[in-house]
């Protein structure tokens, strides 16, 4: 059974307090659920989406009409089996698929938030997700999982609400953003803000949308999701629908055409301001900050069973970053497993058809479920 | 590679491990020793393994396992996190057995270590009479493809432990399948034991 819902959690009187000092209330959360919550409410799996993901984890996307971004993992008899588990996937706050974010109406002004939306953090996103879990009366999530930025949310759950997490699978992620990560995000933000159609974030309801800037931002980001090897294998130096160079700046190479397509198709489904806010939240993420600069301190109350997964060709959130998590959890004596999947598909591997990855997820989830 | 046979090895190890203790099996393979010890000793266990498919097998069995290497990844664990660290038939394949031994007794109160005895009479014979590197049930690789880097004899192992201030508490009697108090080097063992299996700890 699949359901799409939007709930209003927190209120003007009891707002969600944010790390920046401001507050949000009411907070809307758009979420999708699959399967049924059992009587003991012990079979819930929370899936945290990545930067440009959304709640349509295993169902057709309303705009692109494509199947869900993790439909190879989530579904009946898949690694996250919706026959057994109650899967919850909320759109993060700051997002643009129905949860409170910059393109939603600010109750104060009755106009879109735009840049009046407060700067949010990964921790704020998790606090909002916690409101949803409370609303669903779930006291313990059987598993919290997600890749990339979703993995950061998983780590935040482990650190902030350890008693709510029975098991966790952070995938291809990091305990904080490296200078290189921040640099790539800044490149994306600057390309959005350099687009005159961005209009200082006040483009809603106008006939000018920052599609060029957002498109370039997506192109740059997309390169970071792939590996040199996979780009070479897919495209090489092949020309696009031609046999000779054009001696122009048209998309001569297949890779150019591919990236342009990635950029253009992205703007239909994503909000430029959301992109600014979410990348900012990722850059600000450093789980040690509220824990005296200590990773051990950040996870000291964690009791969950954890599986960390990285991918060999991921240079955005490389194995070394994921191993920091493993090392810390080991030092604390936490029940942690770790696996580095061999693949040439780069950071995007967690979204692709990787049988060994699916097998590891399935093995961990099924055996952990048997132990309950 | 295994010590004489797996069942025998598992029984000997199981007999010496206190029930409900916290163990790590380094080079845990498909987790069968951990399963055995969970069943018979009620241990809390985790493994370390280098082979991907074996790691996935462990995960599906509900065994916590970290992809890692004895040479580099034992440093991650704090002192005395475990009651027992176990390293069966891997010491000779490590890059730095000395450091690995030190780590084993640092991260756990006691360590269980086994290795092929290069002092076994059949090995000496093979070298002496055939002038060929030995290949037998415990050393089942030819010289050009062996993963083993550091062969030692039972006496070499005892000497190294002494040098590292590591106490040898017990030594397995492989014929009787039991651990016995260690009473120093024995001529019999150094010639006739195909393997060494020891219980050691920090002095």
Residues A299 and A339 grouped into a single domain: yes
Q: How confident is the model at residue A230 (pLDDT cuts 50, 70, 90)?
A: very high
What's the CA gap between A70 and A98, in Å, rounded? Answer: 19
Confidence at residue B4, expressed as pLDDT on a 0 to 100 scale: 53
User: Is A108 or A202 the better-scoring residue by pLDDT?
Assistant: A202
Q: What residues of chain B lie within 8 A of the CB of A368, using their CB?
A: 62
Is A347 tagged catalytic? yes
Does B64 contact A337 at a Cβ distance shorter than 8 Å?
A: yes
Is some CB atom of chain A closer than 8 A to the CB atom of B61? yes
**Choosing from A252, A283, A314, A348, which is the catalytic residue?**
A314
Mean pLDDT computed over A3-16: 93
Residue A246, helix vs strand vs coil:
coil
Nearest alpha carbon to residue A28 among A87, A114, A95:
A95
This complex has an ipTM of 0.90
Q: What residues of chain A lie within 8 A of the CB of B60, using their CB?
A: 359, 362-364, 366-367
What's the CA gap between B35 and B14, in Å, rounded? Answer: 11
| Domain edge (last residue) among A279, A311, A345 | A279
pLDDT tens per residue, range A318-367: 999 999 999 999 999 899 999 999 999 999 999 999 999 999 999 999 99
Residues A226 and A339 grouped into a single domain: no
Quick one: closest CA in B to A370, which residue?
A: B62
User: Is A93 or B144 the better-scoring residue by pLDDT?
Assistant: A93
Number of domains composing chain A: 2
Is some CB atom of chain A closer than 8 A to the CB atom of B127? no
Confidence at residue A125, expressed as pLDDT on a 0 to 100 scale: 98
| Domain edge (last residue) among A230, A257, A279 | A279
Residues A46 and A170 grouped into a single domain: yes
Count helices and strands in chain A by DSSP H and E runs: 10, 14
Confidence at residue B193, expressed as pLDDT on a 0 to 100 scale: 85
Mean pLDDT computed over A162-171: 98
State the SS3 of B81-136: CEEEEEEECCHHHCCCHHHHHHHHHHHEEEEEEEEEECCCHHHHHHHHHHCCCCCC
Residue A82 is part of which domain span?
2-177+287-371
Confidence at residue B3, expressed as pLDDT on a 0 to 100 scale: 45
Residues A34 and A116 grouped into a single domain: yes
Q: Write the residue in A331, A337, A362 that is nearest to B76 by C-beta.
A: A331
Q: What residues of chain A lie within 8 A of the CB of B61, using their CB?
A: 363, 367
Confidence at residue B120, expressed as pLDDT on a 0 to 100 scale: 84
Reading phi first (left if > 0) and then psi (alpha if -120 to 50, else beta), residue A18 is in beta
Distance from CA of B60 to the nearest CA of A (A): 4
Per the structure block, which two tokens stand in for A207? 């006939």
Distance from CA of B125 to the nearest CA of A (A): 43
Does A333 contact B78 at a Cβ distance shorter than 8 Å?
A: yes
Residue A306: pLDDT over 90: yes
Residues A65 and A191 grouped into a single domain: no
Residue A120: pLDDT over 90: yes
Is A195 tagged catalytic? no
Residues A308 and A253 grouped into a single domain: no
What's the CA gap between B104 and B48, in Å, rounded? Answer: 13
Share of chain A above pLDDT 70, in %: 100
Q: How confident is the model at residue B175 (pLDDT cuts 50, 70, 90)?
A: confident
Q: How confident is the model at residue A201 (pLDDT cuts 50, 70, 90)?
A: very high
Distance from CA of A166 to the nearest CA of B (A): 14
Residues A139 and A215 grouped into a single domain: no
Confidence at residue B189, expressed as pLDDT on a 0 to 100 scale: 82
CATH number of B6-202: 3.40.50.150
Angle at A109 between CA A103 and CA A112, to 5 degrees: 10
CATH number at residue A224: 1.10.1740.110
**Choosing from A148, A167, A215, A274, which is the catalytic residue?**
A148
Confidence at residue B142, expressed as pLDDT on a 0 to 100 scale: 86
Residue from A363, A365, A371 whose CB has the most chain B CBs within 10 Å, to mutate? A363
Confidence at residue B125, expressed as pLDDT on a 0 to 100 scale: 80
Confidence at residue B5, expressed as pLDDT on a 0 to 100 scale: 67
Q: Write the residue in A326, A331, A359 that is nearest to B56 by C-beta.
A: A359
Residues A170 and A189 grouped into a single domain: no
Q: Write the residue in A327, A363, A370 that is nearest to B59 by C-beta.
A: A363
CATH number at residue A359: 3.40.50.1820
pLDDT tens per residue, range A239-272: 999 999 999 999 999 999 999 999 999 999 999 9
Residues A193 and A58 grouped into a single domain: no
Residue A176: pLDDT over 90: yes
Quick one: closest CA in A to B46, which residue?
A: A335
How much is the mean pLDDT over chain A? 97
Phi and psi torsions of B72, nearest 5°: -120, -25
Per the structure block, which two tokens stand in for A81? 């089996």
Is A222 tagged catalytic? no
Per the structure block, which two tokens stand in for A201? 């974030």
Q: What residues of chain B lie within 8 A of the CB of A326, using their CB?
A: 66, 76
How much is the mean pLDDT over chain B? 91
Residue B101: pLDDT over 60: yes
Residues A150 and A196 grouped into a single domain: no
Residues A69 and A113 grouped into a single domain: yes
Q: What residues of chain A lie within 8 A of the CB of B66, using their CB?
A: 326, 330, 336-338
| Domain edge (last residue) among A259, A279, A299 | A279
Q: Write the residue in A305, A342, A363 that is nearest to B60 by C-beta.
A: A363
Share of chain B above pLDDT 70, in %: 98
Confidence at residue B2, expressed as pLDDT on a 0 to 100 scale: 44
Is some CB atom of chain A closer than 8 A to the CB atom of B76? yes
Residues A150 and A12 grouped into a single domain: yes
Residue A31, helix vs strand vs coil:
strand
Confidence at residue B1, expressed as pLDDT on a 0 to 100 scale: 44
Residue B200, helix vs strand vs coil:
strand
Confidence at residue B134, expressed as pLDDT on a 0 to 100 scale: 79
Residue A323, helix vs strand vs coil:
helix
Query: Residue B105's Cα: distance from chain center in Å?
Result: 13
Q: Write the residue in A336, A341, A356 that is nearest to B66 by C-beta.
A: A336
pLDDT tens per residue, range B122-171: 887 888 788 888 787 777 788 888 888 888 999 999 999 999 999 999 99
What's the CA gap between A188 and A279, in Å, rounded? Answer: 9
């Amino acid at each position: 059974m699949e359901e799409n819902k939007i709930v209003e959690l927190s209120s003007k009187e009891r707002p969600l307090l944010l790390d920046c000092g401001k507050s949000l209330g009411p907070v809307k959360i758009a979420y999708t659920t699959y399967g049924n919550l059992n009587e003991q409410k012990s079979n819930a799996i929370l899936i945290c989406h990545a930067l440009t993901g959304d709640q349509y984890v295993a169902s057709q996307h309303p705009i692109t009409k494509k199947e869900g971004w993790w439909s190879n993992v989530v579904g009946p008899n898949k690694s996250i089996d919706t026959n057994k588990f109650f899967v919850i996937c909320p759109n993060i706050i700051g997002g643009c698929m129905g949860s409170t974010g910059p393109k939603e109406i600010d109750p104060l002004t009755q106009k879109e938030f735009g840049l009046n939306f407060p700067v949010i953090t990964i921790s704020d996103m998790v606090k909002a997700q916690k409101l949803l879990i409370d609303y669903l009366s779930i006291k313990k999530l059987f598993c919290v999982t997600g890749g990339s930025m979703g993995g950061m949310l998983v780590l935040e759950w482990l650190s902030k609400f350890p008693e709510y997490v029975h098991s966790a699978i952070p995938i291809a992620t990091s305990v904080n953003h490296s200078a290189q990560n921040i640099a790539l995000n800044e490149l994306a933000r600057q390309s959005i803000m350099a687009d005159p159609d961005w209009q200082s974030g006040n483009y809603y309801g106008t006939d000018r949308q920052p599609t060029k800037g957002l498109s370039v931002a997506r192109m740059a980001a997309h390169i970071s999701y792939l590996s040199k090897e996979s780009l070479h294998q897919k495209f090489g130096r092949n020309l696009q629908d031609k046999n000779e160079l054009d001696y122009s700046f048209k998309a001569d190479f297949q890779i150019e055409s591919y990236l342009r397509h990635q950029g253009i198709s992205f703007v239909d489904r994503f909000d430029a301001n959301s992109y600014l806010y979410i990348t900012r939240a990722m850059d600000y993420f450093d789980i040690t900050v509220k824990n005296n600069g200590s990773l051990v301190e950040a996870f000291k109350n964690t009791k969950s069973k954890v599986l960390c997964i990285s991918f060999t060709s991921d240079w955005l959130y490389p194995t070394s970053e994921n191993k920091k998590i493993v090392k810390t959890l080991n030092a604390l004596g936490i029940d942690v497993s770790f696996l580095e999947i061999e693949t040439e598909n780069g950071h995007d591997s967690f979204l692709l058809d990787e049988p060994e990855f699916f097998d590891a997820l399935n093995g961990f989830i099924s055996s952990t479920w048997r132990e309950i | 590679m295994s010590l004489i046979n797996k069942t025998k090895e598992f029984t000997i190890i199981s007999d010496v491990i206190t029930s409900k203790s916290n163990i790590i099996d380094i080079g845990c393979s498909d987790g069968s020793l951990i399963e055995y010890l969970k069943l018979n000793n009620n241990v809390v266990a985790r493994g370390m393994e280098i082979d991907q498919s074996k790691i996935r097998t462990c995960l599906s069995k509900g065994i916590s396992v970290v992809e890692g290497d004895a040479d580099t990844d034992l440093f991650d664990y704090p002192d005395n996190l475990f009651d027992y660290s176990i390293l069966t038939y891997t010491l000779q394949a490590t890059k730095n057995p000395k450091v690995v031994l030190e780590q084993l007794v640092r991260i756990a109160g006691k360590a269980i270590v086994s290795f092929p005895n290069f002092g076994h009479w059949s090995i000496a014979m093979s070298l002496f009479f055939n002038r060929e590197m030995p290949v037998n049930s415990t050393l089942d690789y030819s010289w050009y493809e062996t993963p083993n880097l550091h062969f030692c004899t039972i006496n070499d192992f005892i000497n190294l432990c002494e040098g590292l201030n590591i106490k040898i508490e017990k030594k397995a009697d492989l014929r009787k399948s039991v651990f016995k108090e260690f009473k120093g080097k024995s001529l019999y063992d150094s010639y006739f034991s195909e393997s060494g299996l020891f219980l050691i700890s920090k002095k």
